[in-house]
Amino acid sequence: MKRKDFITLKTRKAEELAKIVSEKKRDLELLLVKVSSGGEKNLKKGKNLKKEIAQILTLIKEKEIGA
């Protein structure tokens, strides 16, 4: 995730972030299926998706603690 994208995510509400996380998790599941079937060769996509999910979940926790 680029720095600009991360900064724009900071301004969103926790509910919106939760929706984004669910979409990213769905994308990760689809990617894992593609990788296991041999359709996807780029394994870094999965690593990047996991990292983005973790970053967004951290933002959600920060918003919960701050509120």
Contact 40, 31 (CB under 8 A): yes
| Residue-number span of the structural domain to which 50 is assigned | 13-66
25 falls within a domain: yes
pLDDT above 80: residue 30: yes
Q: What is the 3-state secondary structure (H, E, C) of the chain?
A: CCHHHHHHHHCCCHHHHHHHHHHHHHHHHHHHHHHHHCCCCCCHHHHHHHHHHHHHHHHHHHHHHHC
Using 50, 70 and 90 to split pLDDT, how confident is the model at 66? confident
36 falls within a domain: yes
Q: Rounded to two decimals, what is the model's pTM?
A: 0.89
58 falls within a domain: yes
Using 50, 70 and 90 to split pLDDT, how confident is the model at 46? very high
Structural domain tally of the chain? 1
